[in-house]
Amino acid sequence: MWNEPGPPNPPRRGWRDWALVAVLMAVAVLEGVLRQDLPWRAVSVAITAGLVLTLLWRRSRPLPMVAVAFGTCALSPLVMNGASLQTYTLVFLLLLSYALCRWGSGREVVIGLVIILLKVTHSMISDSPGLPDVIGGWAVVSASIAAGLALRYRAGARARELDKVKLLERVQLARDLHDTVAHHVSAMAIRAQAGLATSGSHPDAATDALRVIESEASRALAEMRAMVDVLRQNQPADRQPGRRITDLRQLASRGRSGPSVDVEISGDLDDIPPPVGAAIYRLAQESVTNARRHARHATRIEVRVAADDTSVRLRVSDDGDGGLAHPSTRPGYGLIGMIERADLLGGTCVAGPDPDRGWTVTAVLPRTGSAT
């Protein structure tokens, strides 16, 4: 754990942090006014209110804030004639211990926990509380530390799972691209053979063959570059033929064991790069699978593909009630993979509930299949 880096992108300080600080400062002042038994009331309130400010940097500087807060509490008897801080408002220190375990690096967590342990142990020895207070104090401190560690590793596990989904999607796209490059190379070989066979009797045919070879070579080179960009794992390429947009008709069904699937394809499908065709098929396939699995009481799923001069648009919608998920929920791994696939080809993919009922997935890919 010592060399573990801190979680990336901690939340920035916002108005909620300032509101929390303002409320705690007001509570500290109110406690000083109401508690007549509080030793050194003015000093106790001033120190407590000053320490509340450490909450503003609890995420970005967790270890220094823990050191300042717990260190000040430990040294406060030096300026209070031996009396320790006894304000109830100091319960906010649990937020610092939580933030340390949630956002600190491994080294910061270890050092910070040592500081907390020394301070809590010193307080229990100097104040001499009873056994129930000792057990309760340790339980509360341990609970805040455990909550920070639990959420830290839960977020880390989800981040690793998302990276795995993206990696698998990139590998699948790279496999599809492998088939397209092989197609272009085969076309060049055939054209070259035809050009050599007819070069003596028909020089014009040889010239046409060279033009086709040049065109196929350019497209193959562009797709090879895209494959290099997306390939992230050294695995052998899948030799199965890549899917095309016309294969979407295989998804159509009459709904004997579920909602019927209606597929409609329009527009000019000629010269659409195989990566784009394969991506459209995969996006539609995933959307139909999700609709069959999650759309409650759905009777119909519509798949619409329209191609024009610049882009290919896919729309998959169902008539289920409630959709696949609430808009405020986090996207599932399947949807994240779809967004990743579209983004790699320079397109977009969005999904959400319809105004009345049902769920719609819309993807738009550039016709050229330009990777970002």
Strand order in the sheet with 300-307: 260-267, 300-307, 311-318, 359-366, 348-353
Cα–Cα distance for residue pair 220/187, rounded to 1 Å: 10
What backbone phi and psi angles, to 5 degrees, belong to 267?
95, 180
Q: Give the up-direction half-sphere exposure of residue 216: CA atoms within 13 A in the CB hemisphere.
A: 19
Helix, strand, coil shares of the chain, percent, nearest 5, are: 60, 10, 30
What's the confidence (pLDDT) of residue 223? Answer: 63
What's the confidence (pLDDT) of residue 298? Answer: 84
Answer yes or no: are the C-beta atoms of 281 and 248 closer than 8 Å. yes
What backbone phi and psi angles, to 5 degrees, belong to 237?
-70, 145
Per-residue pLDDT of the chain in tens (372 residues, 90 and over written 9): 778 888 888 888 899 999 999 999 999 999 999 988 888 889 999 999 999 999 999 999 999 999 999 999 988 888 888 888 888 999 999 999 999 999 999 899 999 999 999 888 887 777 766 778 778 878 888 999 999 889 888 888 877 777 777 677 666 666 666 556 655 676 677 667 777 777 777 777 767 777 777 776 776 666 666 555 555 444 444 434 457 888 888 888 765 556 888 999 998 887 788 788 888 888 888 888 888 777 888 888 999 999 988 899 999 999 887 554 444 444 555 677 788 778 878 889 998 888 888 889 999 999 876 544
What's the confidence (pLDDT) of residue 171? Answer: 67
What's the confidence (pLDDT) of residue 334? Answer: 66
What's the confidence (pLDDT) of residue 66? Answer: 94
What's the confidence (pLDDT) of residue 355? Answer: 83
Cα–Cα distance for residue pair 188/213, rounded to 1 Å: 5
For 238, the 3-state DSSP assignment is coil
Cα–Cα distance for residue pair 149/102, rounded to 1 Å: 6
Residue 290, judged by CB atoms within 10 A of its CB (0-12, 13-18, 19+), counts as buried
Cα–Cα distance for residue pair 274/241, rounded to 1 Å: 11
Q: Which residue(s) pair with 311 in the sheet?
A: 366
How far does CA 328 lie from the centroid of its chain? Answer: 15
In this structure, the strands spanning 359-366 and 311-318 are antiparallel
Q: Could you tell me which residues come within 8 angstroms of residue 276 by beta carbon, excluding any fewer than 6 positions away? A: 312, 345, 365, 366, 367, 369
Radius of gyration of the CA atoms of the chain, in A: 32
Q: At what angle do helices 93-103 and 106-127 cross, to 10 degrees?
A: 150
Answer yes or no: are the C-beta atoms of 218 and 185 closer than 8 Å. no
